[in-house]
A and B are shown apart, each in its own frame.
Chain A
Amino acid sequence: MANAGTDERAAKRPLSPHLTIFKPWLTMAMSMAHRITGAGLYIGMALMALFLLGSGVGGWLHALTGWLASGFIGGMIVFLITWAIFHHMLGGIRHALWDRGLYMDAQGRELLAQASLYGGVGLTVLLWVLKSLAG
């Protein structure tokens, strides 16, 4: 464990100046989006757990939680959850490729950042089109 002196010095030490000095590249935005979609999915899973619990129990609980997946707001919630799943999944695949030393050069990084951005949106649109065709 660090002693009191080190703690004091650690408190004064500047933090990594990531946001203030880096140019806002797409790769950086996608790194942040990976975190935000991850945290969003945590909340989304809580909302869907409530909706499912309402559907399982029925009655008054369903009356309370049914809006979470119906109407405009519920539809938006589920739509955003599916997008977050796809975006976060593609972000994970990006990390799996980087773990293997692939696509680590400037063009590769940019390509993967664009792929996760457009791929996430594309997969979401594809899912909802297929879902509406399936009935």
Chain B
Amino acid sequence: MSVPTHFESGRSGQGAAYVSDHEGSAHARFMRVSSYVLAPLGLLSAWHLAGLVGKDLDGVRAEIGHPLPAIVLILFAVIGMIHARQGANEIIEDYVHDDALREKALYWNRIASIAIACAWTFAIMLIAAPK
């Protein structure tokens, strides 16, 4: 005996094709596209971050206080933290089963990722600003 399916999509309405109401494919696509940019930025950023170890203020300025390293590091942090926020969202959605706690975690993930990207960008601008 066949059972008629009453599939209802919030996006396309009742009886429409099987269109997902969720954002999985957009998420997956974003993680991939951003990673193509993050791979070269990550290589360069790892190089410059390694150069910060044991440096005093003048040493830090000499390592990253130039236009190119500064731009690389800012792009890495901004694109990286959007990518990281999406990744952390995925982890939270996988492991936090309590609805209220999950909403709270997603909210603080958004705040933290924006704060990190802003603090990092502001700091690089201070370091790279001409004296």
Contacts and interface: CB of A to CB of B under 8 A. Distances in A.
Interface of A: 35, 38-39, 41-42, 45-46, 48-58, 62, 69-71, 74-75, 78-79, 81-82, 85-86, 88-89, 92-93, 95-96, 99, 127-128, 131
B43 A89 contact: yes
Interface of B: 32, 35-36, 38-39, 42-43, 45-47, 49-55, 57, 60-61, 77, 80-81, 84, 87-88, 91, 112-113, 116, 119-120, 122-127
Contact of B84 (A45, A48, A79, A81): A45
Given A42-B113, A52-B127, A96-B35, 10 more contacts: A49-B123, A52-B120, A55-B52, A74-B53, A75-B53, A89-B42, A89-B43, A92-B38, A95-B35, A96-B32
Which 9 A-B residue pairs are closest in the complex by CB-CB distance?
A: A56-B126, A52-B123, A56-B123, A49-B120, A53-B123, A82-B46, A49-B119, A92-B35, A55-B60
Label chain B's interface by main secondary structure: helix
Given A45-B116, A46-B112, A69-B55, A56 B84 contact: no
A78 B50 CA distance: 6
Contacts of A49: 77, 116, 119-120, 123
Contact of B88 (A42, A55, A56, A93): A42
